[in-house]
Amino acid sequence: MVRKRKILGTAERPRLSVFRSLRNISVQIIDDAAGRTLVAASSIEKKAGGNIAAAKIVGKLIAERAVAKGIKKVVFDRGKALYHGGVKALSMAAREGGLQF
């Protein structure tokens, strides 16, 4: 079994963590050094569901909130989710919104 090393965020480059369930998709920008969440967004607050269209909405929303707080560069952490479908759509929308990773 191959083990993946843990991705950590710093104050300069916080971690963009994606959680995908069957019904929703949520994302947080976390400073692991300080141990606190800086920005968060979810498809629950937009009542959008967990599909690709909802992931694009959440990606744009997290990018807007992060840029408003002065966060431009992040480290992308997709967790156990594969990089396709909703996770890919979320990351592409976040990049279009101004985040760099």
In a domain, 1, yes or no: no
3-state secondary structure of 65: helix
Q: Is residue 35 part of a domain?
A: yes
Count up the domains in the chain and report the number. Answer: 1
Helix (H) or strand (E) holding 28: strand 25-31
- Half-sphere exposure at residue 37, Cβ-oriented, CA atoms within 13 angstroms: 10
One pLDDT digit (tens) per residue for the chain, 101 residues: 445 567 777 778 899 999 998 899 999 999 988 889 999 999 998 787 778 899 999 999 999 999 999 999 999 988 888 888 899 999 999 999 999 98
| Residue 7 located in a structural domain | no
Dihedral sign for Cα 61, 65, 68, 73, please. negative
Has residue 9 been placed in a domain?
no
Q: Report the predicted TM-score, pTM, of the whole model to 2 decimal places.
A: 0.85
Which domain covers residue 63, as residue numbers? Answer: 15-96
**Residue at 41 is within a domain:** yes
Read off the CATH number of the domain in which 60 is found: 3.30.420.100
Asked if residue 10 belongs to a domain, the reply is no
